[in-house]
Amino acid sequence: MVRLHFSVRLAYDVIDPAADFIFNIHAARTSCQRIVSERLAIGQDLVPLLDGDAAGNRLMRLRARQGPLQVEYEATVDIAHRAAAPDELIETPIAALPAGALIYLYPSRYCQSDKLCKLAFDTFGAVAPGYARVNAIQQWVQSQVAFRSGSSDGGTSALDTLAQRTGVCRDYAHLMIALCRALNMPARFVSGIDYGADPALGPTDFHAYVEVMLSGRWYVFDASGVSPPMGLLRIGTGRDAGDIAFATIFGRVSSWAPLIAIEAVEDGGRGFVAPAYCREALSTADC
């Protein structure tokens, strides 16, 4: 069992008389990820509207007045990973996929898998299907793309990254997802926070990682390879980054960079271990 504690601090200055925000910063609840405690503090005496969308993301809406707005959220989360032997995980035939997974077979705005069929087949067609093939895709993406802050922006897609070979976690995830879908594997984008990255990569930030459905269950992959999958905490799940921005803002607003912290609770007596690389495939989704 992994116990993680994280906090997110967001600061804005609303320029218009009022502005609406949709946040997706709450830790997700799944059968594997339990929220032990959480705390939310919002400036301007606002009462947030909290609810979930069809994909299970916990959304928070606010309508803020002109002036400064601060949002703080922190949570302690327990993650009980389902582990599987990689060798036993197979690519699920399309006829056997859960209906809810079909949408993740299709191309999306930033993951144009329909353009990558031949490349995916040429590069990974000879790899053994199943976990090994997904792993080969992850390794290829990690080896081909250089991590470079600021080398991409919100409009960068998997095709751009394939050409430019530089990006950040979000770009690695998009390219890996597009390649998986091109081989008819459902793959989706997860936003969250990672524990265990090399501090040399910079301060803790939101992270983006990947889930691929194998043997009827979603397994976690860190496309950029910067963190152990065991340390990936889920916030939002979607087809690509366009679905699950941590903040969507309607109105003129100045923004500051988010301040994020995460720590792992290590307490052998209570069964909490620090996230580490492991040989098993890990799943944290409801299915």
**Residue 127 in tokens:** 């790899």
Least separation in angstroms between residue 92's CB and its own copies is 11
Of the residues 99, 126, 200, 270, which one makes contact with its own copies according to CB under 8 A: 99
CB-CB contact of 157 with 111 (8 Å) = yes
Asked if residues 60 and 67 have their Cβ atoms less than 8 Å apart, the reply is no
Rule CB under 8 A: say whether 118 interacts with its own copies: yes
Compute how many residues bind its own copies; rule: CB under 8 A.
45
Residues 132-171 that bind its own copies (CB under 8 A): 144, 146, 159-160, 162-166
| Nearest-angstrom CA–CA distance, 21 and 104 | 27
Indicate the residue among 6 and 12 with the shorter CB distance to its own copies: 12
The dihedrals phi and psi of 71, each to the nearest 5 degrees, come to -130, 125
Residue 106 contacts its own copies per CB under 8 A: yes
Smallest distance from its own copies to CB 115, Å: 5
SS3 139: helix
Which of 162/187 has CB closer to its own copies?
162
Residues 6+ apart with CB under 8 A from 13: 67, 68, 69, 253, 254
Task: Retrieve residue 153's tokens.
Answer: 């922006």
Q: Restricting to residues 11-70, name those near its own copies by CB under 8 A.
A: 20, 22, 49, 51-55, 59, 61-63
Examine residue 198 and tell whether it contacts its own copies (CB under 8 A).
no
Least CB distance from residue 279 to its own copies, whole Å? Answer: 29
For residues 15 and 268, the answer to whether their CB atoms sit within 8 Å is no
Side-chain-side CA neighbours of residue 223 (13 Å): 33
Q: How far is the CB of 122 from its own copies (least distance, A)?
A: 7
Cα separation, 190 vs 193, whole angstroms: 10
Site residues (vs its own copies, CB under 8 A): 20, 22, 49, 51-55, 59, 61-63, 93-95, 99-100, 102-103, 105-109, 112, 115-116, 118-119, 122, 144, 146, 159-160, 162-166, 184, 242-243, 245, 248, 250
